[in-house]
Amino acid sequence: MELYAGIEQAAEVFKTTRKLVTFSGAGMSAESGIPTFRDPGGIWDQFDPAEVGTGPGLLNTLSRMPEKIRAFINETIRVFLQAQPNPGHLALGTLEQIGILRSVVTQNVDNLHQEAGNKNVIEMHGNLFRQRCLACEAKKPFGREEYLGRVKNALEEMTTFDLPSIMEMLPKCDCGSPMRPDVVMFGEAVQGLYESFQEADSCDVMLVLGTSGVVYPAAALPQKAKESGATVIEINPGDSAYYGVADIRLQGTTGEILPRIVQRIQNA
Ligand SMILES: [Zn+2]
């Protein structure tokens, strides 16, 4: 479909709904400078998920090669500190504000949807800046810059880099125990699965953004929405697994296309 016609068509669909649910993935974060999984030069290209992406792997690597963990944390801080919501994120904030978008279901952990003004965000893979108690599971949100700045300073002041000094650096829960980032590591169960499928089941438009559709169970959400009668609209600069699912497929970045759709709606 020609892009201009597709944008017109998507805007017409958006105008008729107050139950639009967005499903977003790594491509949206990539537009904000956070490389996607195994992008050349990205975090998972430089660091082996088996060594730093699971709890046991992380502890093992820390005892054998602490400098690798330090480098991983430093790279994570660098990447996430410079990221900002992109025009695609901001367009979603506007769509919620004008009553069209009901919720955002995301696989991203970077908090950028909230920073763009979205209030109803279901984070299937957690949030890097929210902390979870290792003992009582209580959760505490931190701001992105606040948390990263805190870790950065603690790392700079650290004279020895080992497990006890890292435990010392972690924020403390009200119960006194250390707290870790509330993200879903490899092999851990996703969060908000039931709520996400409920959103997919009850929406009338699902907007699929920057996700290749290969990481299950999240990848099944657009299919679920379609089976429940929703119109599925996909924006993706590359290929995905949703060619047979999307009713309207727009090839391009969210930052390029979403603001144009919003503009059409607001000028109508
Ligand atoms: Zn606690």
pLDDT at 49: 85
What mean pLDDT, rounded, does the chain reach? 93
Kindly state the tokens that stand for 254.
Answer: 């969210």
Instruction: Tell me how far apart the alpha carbons of residues 49 and 63 are, in angstroms, rounded to a whole number.
Output: 16
Distance 13 CA to ligand 1 centre (A): 46
Distance 124 CA to ligand 1 centre (A): 22
pLDDT tens column, 112-145: 999 999 999 999 999 999 999 999 999 999 999 9
Amino acid type, 135:
A
Is 89 an active-site residue?
no
pLDDT at 169: 87
Distance 58 CA to ligand 1 centre (A): 22
Q: Per-residue DSSP letters for 98-122?
A: TT-EEEEEES--S-HHHHTT---EE
Amino acid type, 115:
E
* Residues around ligand 1, an ion, CB closer than 5 A: 133, 135-136, 138, 173, 175, 177
Q: 38 falls in which pLDDT band (50, 70, 90)? A: low
Instruction: Tell me how far apart the alpha carbons of residues 1 and 50 are, in angstroms, rounded to a whole number.
Output: 41
* Mean pLDDT within 43-63: 87
Q: 182 falls in which pLDDT band (50, 70, 90)? A: very high
Is 245 in a helix, a strand, or coil?
coil
Distance 202 CA to ligand 1 centre (A): 35
Distance 23 CA to ligand 1 centre (A): 32
pLDDT tens column, 146-173: 999 999 999 988 888 888 888 888 999 9
Backbone angles phi, psi at 106, to 5 degrees: -130, 150
Q: With contact defined as beta carbons under 8 Å apart, do 210 and 257 qualify?
A: no
Instruction: Tell me how far apart the alpha carbons of residues 163 and 176 are, in angstroms, rounded to a whole number.
Output: 18
CB atoms within 10 A of CB 242: 20
Kindly state the tokens that stand for 58.
Answer: 């992380």
pLDDT at 149: 93
User: Looking at the chain, which residues constitute the CATH 3.40.50.1220 domain(s)?
Assistant: 3-33+85-125+190-267
pTM > 0.85:
yes
Is 229 in a helix, a strand, or coil?
coil
Residue 37 pLDDT > 80, yes or no?
no
Distance 172 CA to ligand 1 centre (A): 8
Pick the catalytic residue: 125, 144, 224, 226?
125
* Four-way CATH pick for 3-33+85-125+190-267: 3.40.50.720, 3.30.1370.100, 3.40.50.1220, 3.10.20.740: 3.40.50.1220
